[in-house]
Structure 1
Amino acid sequence: MKTANKIALARSMYRVVHLGRALVGRSDQCIVNRGGATFELELSQAIDFTIYLGNVFELGTKGALRRLVVPSSTVLDIGANIGAHTLHLAGLVGPAGRVLAFEPTQFAFRKLRRNIDLNPALAGRISTYHCFLGAQDGNTLPDAIYSSWPLMPEGELHEKHLGRAMATETATTRSIDSVLAEAGNPVVQLVKLDVDGFECEILRGATALLRDQRPIFVMELAPYVLVERGASLEEMLSFLIPNGYRLYDERTERAMPSTASELQKLIADGESINVIARVN
């Protein structure tokens, strides 16, 4: 399903919930416990709203992470947004594990930090980075990145996925390899990667990680946003396939094509698919 269609469905459901809460004197702001974690939510935001509705945000990805994450390991959450997967990952790695969470927009990073603070039992396992991951430290970062999907119609939204770009002015630019070296070069077992078209920029800065460690990736593929960033599905695969990676369906783990031309046939314009990339 296209992201725009998912947002349209969420908007319809939101209107009902918003009205029902208003009738009993409740606002769109709330604190809830979902999936063993506590979240502060703004229900007019799509990610927040799907967490509110029984923690149904990206259920396929949650299931894949549950199957793949090894307790006591180090994992990366790149594109952490408000922490929907960050807190889940912290639970999966356990007390001896570690989650490195990356978010470049002030809007989402503030909410990420708030949600981590609401979960003191998990907070000690999480290190947060308010940065844009690129090819090298200090590179110019985009002025704004999509990290908000409002459920109230408004202007200046992306024409296909209906997201709103949010400011990054307080963030820095780092590379994955640099961050990991600074952190003592931990062995990374898994990377959750969801960055709306910036995959190639990020992977350019992960040369050592891909060459020496080759962790599992659980990632979104959206060719149309890659093109918007001046990249392509073929270029993104060029970082993975030569390092021995193959792609698998996120839910079934069935093998998927490893060429851009064959993958493109599975993804309509405006759509995305979630995959697992791993080395056998």
Structure 2
Amino acid sequence: MSADLNEIKSLLADLRKEKSTVLVPDLGQIDRLLQSRLDEKLSFYFKWRMPLSFPVGGKTFIHTNDGHRLYVDPNEPFMTLHLLEHGEWETPVRRELRRELTAGATFIDIGANIGLHALFAAALVGETGRVFAVEPHPVTMEMLRQNLEINGLLDRVLLSQVAVSNVDDATVTFEYFAEHPAMSGLKVSQEILEKFHGTLEKIDVHTITLDSLVERAGLTPDLVKIDVEGFEYTVLEGCVQTINKFPNVRFLMEYEKVMAESVMRPGIGAEIAEFFQEKGFKVSKVGADNLVPLTYGEFVVDQRGDYIFSR
């Protein structure tokens, strides 16, 4: 609730209390406060929120809260609706990106989707920083590329249409969930398919390890985001050299226990915990308001969330 509305409430409360006294409210003041709040609200919605739909290509154009232009996929019900309502997505993750990334930093976005976090990171690291965004599916990659282009950031963000895995130069099947594109991955879990009805479109994609990506691009990574719908451990298996070479690298990982165990194997969370713990990383969960330190025992039984691993 804004200060303006609180002030109006206070004025009305005073009126109700003064039953025995003839009190003439300052209706002009109330009117001005209401008009100010209305103007503020309308300005916000007309400036940032009003979407434009393009019948050709099936895209919708909006602005984010931080002023970036953005094409969104109307077929993606959750992310797109949240963006239309709130102007941003995964607010706590954005908070941690702001905390982790400074001017000149290097950010690797594995599973960049349409580029929400890559765009935000590019603004945070500035012209002296680097962002490397990885997305395997050609439809999503093209939307990511267009979102960078319309914001003038193509020269600041490197793109790679591959799947980050534990082997280089292999070919694997990628499952594109047409009705829920953000849930696409190397394998869509049975739980997801049963809960959200839809169709899968399978294509072949090439793989690369994070170690090779870092070496070939000449990167010195500060923060690596991993959002790969259950295949987090596969990515980690291919980044041991990077961790050894860059001891200050941090990881921001989305993990969901049920999904990861469905597409990989039971107990995979304990393997992730052992991987990081053996290498001296501490784990914290990205909470709604702050970063919450966890033990690895707590991480293993946690059901879902975004986590920061750092040394």
TM class, shorter-length: 0.7 to 0.9
The Cα of 1:233 is off from its aligned counterpart by 0.4
Q: 1:189 to 1:146 in 2, by over 3 A?
A: farther
1:228: Cα distance to partner? 1.7
1:211 has 2:244 as partner: yes
User: What is the aligned residue count?
Assistant: 245
Secondary structure, counterpart of 2:296 in structure 1: coil
Corresponding residue SS for 1:108: helix
TM-score under structure 1 normalisation? 0.78
CA shift digits 1:183-215 (9 cap, x unpaired): 12x210001111111111111111111222141
**Greater share of helix:** 2
What TM-score, normalized by structure 2, do the two folds share? 0.71
2:194 corresponds, among 159, 172, 191, to 159
| 1:233 aligned onto 2:269 | yes
- Report % sequence identity: 25
Largest Rg, 1 or 2: 2
Equivalent in the alignment of 1:177: 211
> Is 1:141 the equivalent of 2:172?
yes
Q: Which piece of structure 1 moves more, 232-241 or 44-53?
A: 44-53
Cα distance change on mapping 1:201 and 1:161 into 2, 3 Å: farther
Between the aligned partners of 1:109 and 1:207, the Cα distance in structure 2 is 27
Give the match's secondary structure for 2:173. coil
The 3 A distance-change label for structure 1 pair 165 and 256 is: farther
Two-structure CA RMSD over aligned residues (Å):
2.7
Q: Secondary structure at the match of 2:86?
A: coil
Name the SS of the counterpart of 1:141 in structure 2. Answer: strand
Corresponding letter in the other structure for 1:83: G
**Partners of 1:93 and 1:175 in 2: how far apart?**
24
Matches within 5 A, 1:2-151: 29-34=59-64, 35-45=66-76, 46-120=78-152, 122-145=153-176, 149=180
1:193 aligns with 2:250: no
- The reply to whether residue 243 of structure 1 matches residue 275 of structure 2 is no
Which structure 1 segments of 5+ residues have no match?
A: 1-20
The residue type equivalent to 1:256 in the other structure is L
Give the ranges of 4+ consecutive aligned residues of structure 1 lying more than 3 Å apart after TM superposition.
24-29, 145-148, 160-168
**Kindly tell me: are residues 26 and 87 of structure 1, through their superposed partners in 2, closer, same or farther at Cα, counting changes over 3 Å?**
closer
Distance 1:83 1:25, change over 3 A: closer
CA offset at residue 139 of structure 1?
2.4
Any conservation in 2 of the 1:248–1:276 contact (CA below 8 Å)? yes
Structure having greater relative contact order (Cα 8 Å, sep ≥ 6): 1
Is the CA contact 1:106–1:167 (under 8 Å) kept in the aligned structure 2? no
Specify whether residues 275 and 238 from structure 1 end up closer, same or farther in structure 2 by C-alpha distance, changes over 3 A only.
same
Q: Distance in 2 between matches of 1:145 and 1:25?
A: 23
Contact 1:33-1:39 at 8 Å conserved across structures: yes
